[in-house]
């Protein structure tokens, strides 16, 4: 239960918005800026991001020359994962109103670089650093009729600039855990002022909506509409199913276990049991997709697999029926590979946090993963639905994989639950569009 705040204390630690912005801009931003500058000296990705930010305003000026007039929506996402939540919204908006210009910004270099060719956006830019002058200049050049922020990456001076320019702001696919640091006393006061500038906060669940309401925001619509990721993975899974990457020589009359985005910590848990099953069941085959398919990691995996499995790298696989295990040595293929799977193991759950469990679930197959799911509400809910299995050890992983590979009825029942878990949660995109359209005059 939320603790009651002493009114006297409230006055002393809840200064007005001008004071909050002063402290944020004066004492928080300079160290953050110095950190990124220093980190950029040793990290090429961060350095590339700062180089890209130096071009933002000239890029916007060029965009204005090639896209004069018309309504504009500004969409901001931190990185690749968050932008996947934005894509169904953008795609649906452009399908209904192709004349609206969509400008997308990213904070991370990976988000920017991997989406530069995304055809749904009219312009792709880095988000300038959150100095007040940058925010004002960006808004003056971008000229959006509305701003859509995805999930959590909210920058105070940009939000304030939107407020000054009377640009309505929406936060979509929003999440807020009950133990979030944003709810600590001083942080809560700061975020109360920040979120008060939003017109709507659209959350992924009722629990998130109730937690946001603890800020006591007046005049801000807070509503649980679901997560647009369900719409995104559902559409992508249907499209990928039409063009399977694996030949029938590998999948025909077989039970295929696909391991997605695995780290060494995951491999220590799933590999012993999986190898044992492969050696004892000739119908069983495996596809292993490391999160980072670097040469050293691939060689380690190859050395850990028995020669009897005739393991082959995906790039060199000739279609031989003798191959029992494929190691994927490139990125960008995982979603399509799940289309040929009967069971999925998703990595990350034995490292820091489980990766995307919705992608395999969308194909209607059971999903197995490790216990570190604190940042993934859907992973816990998937397990509760019967479509997912949380395993906390190599023994538990082996036990679940053994049961799913041996018992077709249990496998199909669990897969059906996983598919229904995803399909029953689609539709959030339409709710976001219903909120945005009036702001864009539609």
Token pair of 304, please?
């850990």
- Summarize the confidence of residues 407-434 as an average pLDDT: 98
Q: How many CB atoms lie within 10 A of CB 62?
A: 12
Assess whether the region 7-20+53-226+427-439 and the region 243-423 belong to the same CATH fold: yes
3-class SS shares of the chain: helix, strand, coil, % to 5? 50, 15, 35
3-state SS string for 105-133: EECCHHHHHHHCCCCCCCEEEECCCCCHH
pLDDT tens digits, residue range 315-338? 999 899 899 999 999 988 999 999
In eight-state DSSP terms, residue 215 is: G
Mean predicted confidence (pLDDT) in 39-63: 94
Three-state DSSP state, 237: helix
Boundaries of every domain in the chain: 7-20+53-226+427-439, 243-423
Average pLDDT over residues 251-272: 97
pLDDT attached to residue 2: 37
Task: Give the span between the Cα atoms of 17 and 116, in whole angstroms.
Answer: 36
Pairing of strands 123-126, 146-150: unpaired
Q: Can you give the pLDDT at residue 244?
A: 87
7-20+53-226+427-439 belongs to CATH 3.40.50.11720: yes
Contacts of residue 366, Cβ cutoff 8 Å, sequence gap at least 6: 343, 344, 387, 388, 389, 404, 411, 414, 415, 418
Question: CATH for 243-423, among 3.40.50.970, 1.10.246.90, 3.40.50.2000, 3.90.76.10?
Answer: 3.40.50.2000
For the record, the structure tokens of 357 come out as: 């469990």
Instruction: Look up residue 419 and give its two tokens.
Output: 């598919």
Q: Which band of pLDDT confidence, cut at 50, 70 and 90, is reported for residue 18?
A: confident
Query: Where would I find the H helices in 215-285?
Result: 228-241, 248-251, 264-280
Question: What pLDDT is attached to residue 375?
Answer: 83
pLDDT at 13: 41
Residues across the chain: 442
Of 96-110, 230-244, 245-259, minimum mean pLDDT range: 230-244
Written as one string, the DSSP assignment of 282-335 is TTEEEEEEESS--HHHHHHHHHHS-GGG--EEGGG----TT--EEE--SSS-HH
Q: What is the pTM of this model?
A: 0.84
């Amino acid at each position: 239960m939320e603790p009651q705040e002493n009114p006297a204390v409230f006055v002393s630690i809840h200064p007005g918005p001008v004071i909050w912005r002063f402290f944020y801009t004066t004492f928080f931003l300079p160290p953050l800026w110095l950190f990124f500058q220093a980190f950029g000296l040793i990290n090429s990705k961060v350095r590339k991001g700062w180089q890209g930010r130096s071009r933002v305003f000239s890029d916007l000026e060029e965009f204005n020359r090639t896209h004069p007039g018309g309504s504009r929506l500004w969409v901001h996402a931190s990185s690749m994962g968050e932008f996947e939540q934005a894509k169904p919204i953008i795609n649906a908006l452009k399908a209904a109103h192709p004349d609206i210009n969509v400008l997308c910004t990213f904070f991370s270099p990976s988000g920017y670089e991997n989406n530069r060719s995304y055809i749904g956006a009219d312009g792709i830019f880095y988000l300038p650093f959150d100095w007040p002058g940058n925010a004002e200049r960006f808004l003056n050049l971008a000229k959006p009729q509305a701003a859509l922020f995805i999930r959590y990456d909210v920058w105070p001076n940009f939000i304030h600039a939107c407020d000054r320019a009377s640009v309505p702001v929406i936060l979509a696919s929003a999440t807020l855990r009950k133990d979030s640091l944003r709810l600590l006393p001083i942080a809560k006061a700061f975020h109360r002022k920040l979120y008060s500038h939003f017109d709507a906060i659209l959350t992924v669940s009722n629990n998130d909506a109730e937690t946001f309401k603890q800020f006591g925001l007046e005049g801000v619509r807070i509503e649980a509409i679901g997560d647009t990721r369900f719409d995104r993975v559902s559409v992508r899974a249907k499209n990928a199913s039409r063009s399977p990457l694996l030949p029938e020589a590998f999948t025909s009359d077989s039970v295929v276990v696909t391991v997605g985005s695995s780290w060494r910590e995951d491999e220590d848990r799933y590999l012993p049991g999986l190898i044992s099953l492969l050696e004892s069941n000739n119908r069983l085959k495996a596809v292993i997709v490391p999160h980072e398919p670097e040469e050293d990691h691939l060689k380690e995996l190859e050395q850990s697999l028995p020669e009897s499995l005739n393991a082959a790298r995906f790039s060199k696989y000739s279609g031989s029926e003798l191959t029992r295990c494929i190691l994927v040595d490139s990125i960008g293929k995982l979603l399509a590979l799940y289309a040929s799977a009967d069971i999925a193991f998703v990595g990350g759950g034995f490292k820091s946090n489980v990766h995307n469990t919705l992608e395999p679930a969308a194909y209607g197959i059971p999903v197995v993963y490790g216990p570190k799911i604190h940042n993934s509400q859907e992973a816990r809910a998937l397990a509760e639905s019967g479509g997912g299995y949380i395993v906390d050890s190599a023994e538990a992983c082996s036990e679940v994989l053994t049961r799913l590979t041996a018992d077709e009825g249990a496998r199909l029942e669990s897969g059906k639950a996983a598919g229904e878990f995803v399909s029953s949660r689609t539709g959030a995109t339409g709710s976001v569009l219903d909120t945005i359209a009036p702001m864009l005059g539609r």
